[in-house]
């Protein structure tokens, strides 16, 4: 699961850097981050992920989400 989350974060970051004028890629990156956040919550609730890791990932994903939202609102 850790590799999946990291890969998703990297992919979301790359998508955020190639912004089309209509913001499509940023919105897609934001959607990816939100999916990954839901997976972390599911894994945490089912006991597949330790709370320490989940907190770390959720914090990083929240920061990424906020950056993407800021980019959309420019």
Residues 49-73: tens digit of each pLDDT: 999 999 999 999 999 999 999 988 8
Residues 9-22: tens digit of each pLDDT: 555 555 445 555 66
pLDDT at residue 1 tops 80: no
DSSP string, the chain: -HHHHHHHHHHHHHHHHS--TT-HHHHHHHHHHHHHHHHHHHHHHHTSS-HHHHHHHHHHHHHHHHHHHHHHT-
In the predicted model, what is the mean pLDDT of residues 13-40?
78
0.75 surpassed by pTM: no
Banded pLDDT at 24 (limits 50, 70, 90)? confident
**Residue-range domain boundaries for the chain:** 2-72
């Amino acid at each position: 699961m850790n590799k999946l989350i990291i890969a998703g974060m990297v992919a979301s970051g790359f998508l955020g850097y190639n912004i089309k004028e209509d913001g499509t890629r940023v919105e897609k990156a934001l959607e990816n981050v939100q999916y990954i956040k839901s997976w972390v919550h599911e894994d945490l609730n089912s006991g597949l992920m330790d709370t320490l890791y989940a907190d770390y990932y959720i914090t990083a994903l929240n920061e990424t989400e906020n950056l993407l939202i800021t980019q959309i609102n420019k």
